[in-house]
A and B are shown apart, each in its own frame.
Chain A
């Protein structure tokens, strides 16, 4: 039997698991991902909050409650080891009514039970002293200093790079179509690129986890998409809060948040709209959804910037499990089938803890590899020109002129950074964008997309029109400019 584990899904959960497993001696780890790059499922389109862990009821949702608190603490180390931009800014849950105040006390009590440190309820004055932009209607807030925000797409990229350095193979544009089970044990996965044999199959397929489970004969849960829409403002638009601003939660969701992303943009969202089970790709934005987000966000602050300052809207799909709680388990039947599924919020926060939990469970079920002597915990981030002081910047440019050629004017990203991203694995325009921020500014790529495509074309040796935005089927163009006219009859 091959000593190989196949992880299905290169989201933050699958990659966290792969990272942990990559520390084991003699175990081959393969991550299989259907998209052209890592982290393009729920992991790229979310609020990016490392929740502190007071939200979840430890009786109803024991995994969520336990793993979020633990994940929060682990992220402090992981983010540092992996050079993931993170801001441990803390969060405020804002209460605007006496009912809200009652809920705050519940949250506080739950936080204490879950082991969340440093929680405190502030009065309205205190809240506005911390965050002057908070609405005058706010009477109290639960302050949680251990919450943070990170850049979710940079997190998956960092995890992936660290995995690869530790010997993990990541296969992109590879769709898992079946799980081969023989005599009650998994033997591997059937993919669009052929069969991959394995002793363990870890299902971290996000929205599709229920389908992967069914391929393995497991059908005790379903995953439905719950859509969340966002609006992102221009970097120069403000005021921006220093901490994450939550409304008092409802039973369905934590509500529309007002936050400053790690890159410094004001962002509001998400709403929560349940979609049918098969709507797993419907990351649409809607007029109603965005209007709702705007209305809800407006309640938390004195004033939002003008609508003209919105530079981007997007949406993500939460993988909502039928049972409500995260599914983190090693099955007896089929043997070797492992699941980290139903990772709705706070799945990002919990990911490192989920990974360690999976390792613990696999150990209990016969995984007996020891730790590698040499395992690299650190990963170095690419150079960010705009993050350098002027002197360093001068030195860098004189050593490598391409770090002086700005290709994305809004975010100040240089050719050198783009080339570095490509050498680190970006194959698409979005791949470059999520690694460098090129195209994330106010012009949304209208100025830089073609220059970036030209660099990709040169580095990958492909014609420029065939460079894709996000993998096969999303080519920039349909051919050379003459392609519709050539070969046709000249007679009209």
Chain B
């Protein structure tokens, strides 16, 4: 038998759910309403999250661009995915929504920019100092 503890986050009550599985039979206990039942099953069977991180930018007005996965990915792969992205770089300009990497860890998700980063002008000159 497998037994998984899940905290329901769908409302502030925060029921502590116990999800058990025996021979393919799933059971949820401790929910305060029906929504918790579905949530408990999902979190036990297929917990997933959107990964949020940044990617270094070359020649940008700023040195990094924030990104996210186009879909939630399995929770236990978040750290691995973050490591897999280390080493990736992108050249400015970057537009909001631009796909920066495809098919991360063969999960069929893309890495998408969540901010636009302009290419660098020489700020020092632009300010007329120097």
Contacts and interface: CB of A to CB of B under 8 A. Distances in A.
Tell me, yes or no, whether A and B come into direct contact in the complex with CB atoms closer than 8 A: yes
Interface of A: 400-402, 405, 415-416, 419, 458, 464, 480-482, 485-486, 488, 490, 492
Contacts of B63: 464
B87 A482 contact: yes
B23 interface: no
Interface string B45-85: 00000000010100000011000000000000001101111
A485 B82 contact: yes
Contacts of A481: 54, 56, 64
A458 B79 contact: no
Contact of B127 (A401, A486, A492): A401
Given A419-B129, A482-B87, A492 B124 contact: no
B52 to A, nearest CB: 13
A400 B86 contact: no
B12 interface: no
A400 B128 contact: yes
Nearest to B128: A401
B129 A488 contact: no
Give the residue among A480, A486, A490 with the most B Cβ atoms within 10 A: A490
A416 B127 CA distance: 10
A490 B84 contact: yes
Nearest to A459: B124
A486 B86 contact: yes
A327 B56 CA distance: 57
A400 B127 CA distance: 8
B128 to A, nearest CB: 6
A490 B128 contact: no
B54 A486 contact: no
A402 B127 contact: yes
B76 to A, nearest CB: 9
B56 A492 contact: no
B79 A492 contact: yes
The 3 closest A-B pairs by CB, nearest first: A485-B86, A486-B86, A482-B86
Given A402-B128, A485-B86, A490-B84, 13 more contacts: A402-B127, A405-B127, A415-B127, A416-B129, A464-B63, A481-B64, A482-B56, A485-B83, A485-B85, A488-B86, A490-B83, A492-B80, A492-B83
B19 to A, nearest CB: 25
Give the residue among A401, A464, A482 with the most B Cβ atoms within 10 A: A482
Contacts of B87: 482, 486
B124 A458 contact: yes
Interface size class of B (residues with CB under 8 A): 10 to 19
A376 to B, nearest CB: 26
Given A485-B82, A488-B83, A480 B124 contact: no
A210 B84 CA distance: 56
Contact of B129 (A402, A486, A490, A492): A402
A202 B11 CA distance: 71
A377 B54 CA distance: 53
Contact of A490 (B56, B80, B123, B127): B80
Nearest to B62: A454
Nearest to A465: B63
Give the residue among B54, B84, B127 with the most A Cβ atoms within 10 A: B127
A401 B129 CA distance: 8
Interface in B85-130: 85-87, 123-124, 127-129
B89 to A, nearest CB: 9
Contacts of A480: 56
A401 B128 CA distance: 7
17 contacts: A400-B129, A401-B127, A402-B127, A402-B128, A416-B129, A458-B123, A481-B56, A481-B64, A482-B86, A485-B82, A485-B83, A485-B85, A485-B86, A486-B87, A488-B86, A490-B80, A492-B83
B10 to A, nearest CB: 30
Contacts of B83: 485, 488, 490, 492
Nearest to A464: B63
Nearest to B55: A482
B88 to A, nearest CB: 9
Contacts of A401: 127-128
A76 B105 CA distance: 71
Nearest to B77: A492
Give the residue among A416, A464, A480, A481 with the most B Cβ atoms within 10 A: A481
Nearest to A492: B80
B66 to A, nearest CB: 11
Contacts of B80: 490, 492
A47 B116 CA distance: 49
Contacts of A415: 127
Contacts of B85: 485
A450 B102 CA distance: 33
